[in-house]
Structure 1
């Protein structure tokens, strides 16, 4: 089954953070505080997804205040920080939302994401993912994590569902 056919069935997109929503870098200020870099285009893509009725969730291995703030600003309520074992939270989402594996996409980049990616209907990854993740992905972004890959993934899903063109028309008119 092609990635586009799989994307047409997606009702929930789960995102990793470091290396997907961010570039994976750890930026330290002069006091030793860690900062994260997010891409504005990814944020707008998330808003388009929400507008189109595509649900979003975030499961991340780290727990960081800057990430929590960004996720809150984006209106993503399904946020699970600080969990290296992501599968229990994936299963919780399936149960709570009444979804099947085929109705879920996951955008990840590293080994920590593999257990969920092996289950979902549409495993997706970024251009700079680990080699093993490329091997289990059905869709690969042309962009690196933190540089518009989330927006590209959302656009792919919404286009496969026939929703992208109408969102574009709202902005272009």
Structure 2
């Protein structure tokens, strides 16, 4: 039986789930003298996340990190399902699926490292940034040409929304 192209999954995606460090950020942290850990997130990824929420998609973040600044940023984009400090991401995934009545075949998850492996094996369309670790690349149905924190989330969201005719392609459109 021939493996399906990742593009065949795009029209059925209703839910986007992302890891944070290495996916929505470049995986680096700047540690201040007071011990705060600062991360950098792409504005273009943020625009795509907000667009997906505005178009009615489920958008969720499951991260092992526990930086509340990340939650504030994501909540500001309309992403309210944010699981931080997730030591066992599959538990949060199952909780989210039950809460929202989501089927795994309608989910795109983007991860970059070993803690994402179990979740990626449990969903329909596992994806990763170009700079993910080899183990994650080996199970991904799509590897973005973008690196984590540098537009990888935008890449997959834009592809799904374009296939479903929901991308804001008109530059004259009003963006509120």
- Normalization by structure 1: what TM-score? 0.93
Which residue number in structure 2 is paired with residue 56 of structure 1?
59
> Where in structure 2 are the equivalents of 1:69-80 lying within 5 Å?
69-80=72-83
Which residue number in structure 1 is paired with residue 164 of structure 2?
161
- Structure 1 alignment gaps of length 5 or more: none
Cα distance, 1:61 vs structure 2: 0.3
Cα distance, 1:94 vs structure 2: 1.4
Aligned residues: 170
Looking at secondary structure, tell me which structure has more helix per residue: 1
The more displaced of 129-138 and 25-34 is 25-34
Partners of 2:73 and 2:105 in 1: CA distance? 28
Which residue number in structure 2 is paired with residue 11 of structure 1?
14
**Partner deviation per Cα, 1:17-70 (whole Å, 9 max, x = no partner):** 000011110102243321111110000011111222221000000101221221
Contact 2:50 2:79 in 1 (8 A): no
Report whether the alignment pairs 1:105 with 2:112: no
**Partner deviation per Cα, 1:3-22 (whole Å, 9 max, x = no partner):** 11111111110010000011
- Normalization by structure 2: what TM-score? 0.92
- Structure 2 alignment gaps of length 5 or more: none
Partners of 2:126 and 2:56 in 1: CA distance? 20
